[in-house]
A and B are shown apart, each in its own frame.
Chain A
Amino acid sequence: MNIPKKLLYTSEHEWIRVDGEKGNIGITDYAQHHLGDIVFVELPEVGEEAAMGESIGVIESVKAVATLFSPAGGKVIEVNEELEEAPELLNEDPYGNWIAIIELTDHSDLEKLMSAEAYTEFCKNLE
């Protein structure tokens, strides 16, 4: 299981890569592996605002539909439209392919997220 060091993680298996006021968000290797072949990504709308843990989209795999939650509160400023054409990119490289970029409203949300070490431990307990 690939869990990059510099990202922050949620218990819903999303990651966020924070860069100043912005954060790129996506789903983890664990998430893509458990979902199986991803066939559709419903992206949020640019301009949409979401609180931490609020639903911002869905991901459909051959097995199930899972809800995507925002790892932190913010406003969506960009979405990865490539995923509309090629949802399987999330299987191929879940950390290289972000789903959306949000402008963070409250940095203190980030303190509630897991580090790579904590998330590794979290996943271990799920197995």
Chain B
Amino acid sequence: MIEITNSSHDPCFNLALEEYAVKNWPGSQSYFILWQNQPAVIIGRNQNTIEEINQAYLEEKGIQVVRRMSGGGAVYHDLGNLNFTVVVDENNDFANFEKFTRPVITALKRIGIKAENNGRNDITIKGRKFSGNAQFKFRDRLLHHGTILFDSRLEDMAEALNPSTEKISSKGIKSVRSRVTNISEHLSIPVSVEEFKQILAEEVLRAEDSNHSYQLTDSDLHAVNDLRDNKYSAWAWNYGKSPAYNVRKTHPYPWGNIDIRLDIKRGLISGCRIYGDYFAGGDIEELEKTLIGEVYQEEDIKKCLEQLDLEKYLPHTNKKEFTDLLCR
């Protein structure tokens, strides 16, 4: 097995590296990567981003949202969380989670902690989840990856993954809330995350013969950076890839109640209805039509409204208030 040395904490780079590894590196070889991210929310392949995150909190803290290739729910990463990735030939390991989680369990055993698979895709300590696992299959290659909460800031996790109570409906994959725990809570002897990385790497490599490590070459870095810039850092992937959804925005203003229904497809507004008990100044249908086709993102909505005499339709509001209602 080849151990990839990767000290980047950039979530977009790290997810790009995974895709690059599973799609480009030669078959018959197995690869192993241990990595950490600066604070980020990593959402599942088929999730609706805005349904999973606390946008205001993420903006305030400068936390990125990045979509991954594998399925399942949203997770929070920070430097207290350790990620492991294994890329192998598919053979019969597909959906065999135990084979990949076993080294984590044995590594923990070495530091005096009893952990077990919970039968789904998690590893738990005393019934509480500290590791979530997922797989991605591409042709005859299989990528298995998992998170390991070592000493993550669980209160930040709870904030980041607490979406505002907007009325959104979609067919996207919903995250399942679990009771979580950090490994550090269960230690009887002090072990740092660096020491644990070492132990885990030993356990992963133990079962394999002819192990060696590999430094990413300039050409690897070039390809991974390309993927990072063009896909994993891009709105089109992180937000635009969300399954179609509907969102309802309502607000009681002093001048009346407003109720907006938006259909969002591939990140664009594909349907828009505006209802209200206010006295409408113009044909509201015109405003609805103007919004259709726009990218459902604050910047784009702002730009769209700039060219418009909004007061003609909604005499008592202003562009800022209306943008906030639509996008926040």
Q: Which residues of B have CB within 8 Å of A62?
A: 120-121
Known pairs A34-B95, A64-B70, A65-B69; A39 contacts B173 (CB<8 A): yes
The 0/1 profile, CB within 8 Å of A marked 1, for residues 294-305 of chain B is 000000000000
Judge whether A40 and B137 touch: CB under 8 Å.
no
Q: Which of A61, A63, A66, A69 has the most CB of B within 10 A?
A: A63
Q: How large is the interface on B (under 10, 10 to 19, 20 to 34, 35 or more residues)?
A: 20 to 34
A67 to B171, CA, bound (A): 19
A64–B138 CB distance below 8 A: no
> Residue A47 at the B interface, CB < 8 A?
no
A58 CB to closest chain B CB, in angstroms?
Answer: 6
Instruction: Give per-residue flags for A14-56: 1 if the beta carbon is below 8 A from chain B beta carbons, else 0.
Output: 0000000000000000000011100110100000000000000
Q: Tell me the minimal C-beta distance from A99 to chain B in angstroms.
A: 15
**What A residues does B92 contact at CB under 8 A?**
126
A64 touches B134 (CB 8 A): yes
**B174 nearest CB neighbor, chain A only:** A39
Q: Which residues of A contact B69 (CB under 8 A)?
A: 65
Question: A60 in the interface, Cβ–Cβ < 8 Å?
Answer: yes
Query: Which residues of the other chain, A, contact B171 by a CB distance below 8 angstroms?
Result: 40, 84-85
Are A60 and B173 in touch, CB under 8 angstroms?
Answer: yes
Check if A63 sits within 8 Å of B45, measured CB to CB: no
What residues of chain B lie closer than 8 Å to A109, measured between beta carbons?
none
- The reply to whether A64 and B139 contact each other, CB–CB distance below 8 Å, is no
- Give the Cβ gap from B48 to chain A, nearest Cβ, in Å: 11
- The answer, yes or no, to whether B81 is at the interface (CB within 8 Å) is no
The reply to whether the CB of A12 lies closer than 8 angstroms to some CB of chain B is yes
A60 and B135 form a contact (CB under 8 A): no
Which A residues touch B120, using CB under 8 A? 62
CA distance A68 to B222 in the complex (A): 27
